[in-house]
């Protein structure tokens, strides 16, 4: 009686499989005639990338002669040297389906819930951000006095230019609309914590909320703007302004053909701001912080927003599927664990008696 050796592609000996038997593929691991005809345990453990040339075994309990073999073809005397060098021949190769085909349905549901919860959320109204705005102006020293019309001027933390207060928005990094989820995902006590906010020119705030841009943090403590939506690089910032906001900048008095100018055109009520600035010009800019201040935005909140933006960018084809960035979140659970927590919480809530 002969003994056949079976191995699982890319898996260690003794590793359990949770896959349905009908999803597994069995191949006769004979690759050529004569010596070295069979795959070895070492080759299988390293992973078999190509099963072309191997015969698929689709008949259970088939005798050897049905697949053109005799006992002599499979007879092998195992030695200690064979075991140590992992050169024991493999007669039957088991191929497990790709991981994406066997992923837990709960993981798929959780990922879907995650995206539907955080994507495509309308911006918070200005009236609900006043508390945060006052803190940001004070802590980041963004008060720039008044302009020629007596309007309050504030600094945009990205462009580092003074703009009328009405067009500088206090942006919640972890959105106020998700206040009830802050404990699960970013572990902050107050949604209006100054470290959960940025002071941004309205078009930039809009792009941040829409996940067109993010801020990535490096080891040098640089908070750098990353442009995810390549489609808007050539768009002017001012094209996202309302008529009222356009008027706040005093742009109604600009020359008729200002768009075709080859020189900078500055807003009358914000003389440092060039209205020809495009979103592409912002790519790679770093957030401005006051000299000597150690206050910084919550990294974990920025990381959460950046991962959402990355997911959307991959879906839209703006970045390749393999694009990623270093994990600059240093506090709290990993996002994957938080997704599990959210999903389990939803299950327990829906299953509890009313």
pLDDT tens by residue, 4-62 = 556 666 555 555 555 555 566 776 667 665 445 676 767 766 666 666 667 666 655 55
Structure tokens at 322: 């393999």
Query: pTM to 2 decimals?
Result: 0.62
> What pLDDT, on the 0 to 100 scale, is given for residue 130?
87
pLDDT single digits (tens) 63-81: 655 555 666 666 667 777 7
Categorize the per-residue pLDDT at 329 as very low, low, confident or very high, splitting at 50, 70 and 90: confident
Could you tell me the pLDDT band of residue 301, with boundaries at 50, 70 and 90? very high
pLDDT band at 334 (very low <50, low <70, confident <90, very high): very low
Q: What is the pLDDT of residue 80?
A: 76
Cβ atoms < 10 Å from Cβ of 316:
14
Secondary structure (3-state) at 169: strand
263-283 average pLDDT score: 97
* Residues contacting residue 260 through CB under 8 Å, at least 6 positions apart: none
Rounded distance between C-alpha atoms, residue 115 and residue 311, angstroms: 9
Band of residue 257 on the pLDDT scale cut at 50, 70, 90: very high
Would you state the pLDDT for residue 138?
96
So what's the pLDDT on residue 214? Answer: 98
Is the Cβ–Cβ distance between 253 and 247 less than 8 Å?
Answer: no
């Amino acid at each position: 009686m002969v003994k056949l050796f079976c191995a699982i592609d890319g898996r260690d000996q003794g590793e359990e499989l949770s896959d349905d038997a009908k999803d597994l593929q069995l191949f006769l691991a004979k690759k050529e005639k004569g010596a070295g005809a069979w795959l070895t345990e070492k080759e299988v453990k390293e992973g078999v990338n190509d099963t072309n040339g191997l015969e698929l075994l689709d008949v259970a309990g088939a005798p050897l002669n049905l697949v053109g073999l005799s006992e002599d073809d499979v007879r092998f005397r195992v030695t200690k040297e064979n075991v140590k060098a992992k050169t024991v021949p493999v007669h039957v190769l088991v191929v497990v389906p790709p991981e994406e085909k066997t992923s837990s349905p709960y993981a798929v549901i959780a990922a879907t819930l995650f995206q539907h919860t955080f994507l495509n959320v309308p911006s918070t109204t200005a009236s609900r951000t006043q508390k945060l705005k006052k803190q940001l102006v004070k802590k980041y020293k963004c008060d720039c006095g008044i302009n020629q019309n007596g309007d309050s001027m504030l600094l945009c933390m990205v462009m580092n230019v003074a703009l009328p207060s009405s067009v500088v928005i206090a942006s919640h990094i972890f959105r106020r609309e998700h206040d009830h989820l802050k404990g699960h995902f970013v572990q902050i006590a107050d949604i209006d914590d100054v470290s959960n906010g940025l002071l941004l020119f309205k078009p930039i705030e809009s792009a941040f909320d829409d996940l067109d841009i993010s801020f990535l943090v490096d080891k040098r403590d640089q908070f750098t703007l990353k442009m995810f939506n390549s489609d808007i690089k050539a768009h002017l910032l001012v094209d996202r302004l309302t008529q009222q906001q356009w008027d706040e900048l005093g742009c109604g008095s600009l020359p008729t053909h200002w768009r075709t100018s080859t020189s900078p055109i500055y807003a009358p009520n914000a003389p440092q701001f060039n209205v020809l600035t495009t979103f592409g010009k912002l790519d790679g800019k770093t957030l401005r912080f006051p000299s000597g201040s150690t206050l910084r935005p919550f990294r974990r909140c920025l990381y959460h927003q950046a991962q959402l933006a990355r997911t959307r960018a991959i879906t839209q084809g703006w970045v390749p599927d393999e694009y990623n960035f270093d994990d600059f979140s240093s506090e709290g659970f990993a996002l994957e664990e938080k997704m599990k927590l959210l999903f389990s919480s939803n299950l327990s809530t829906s299953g509890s008696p009313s």
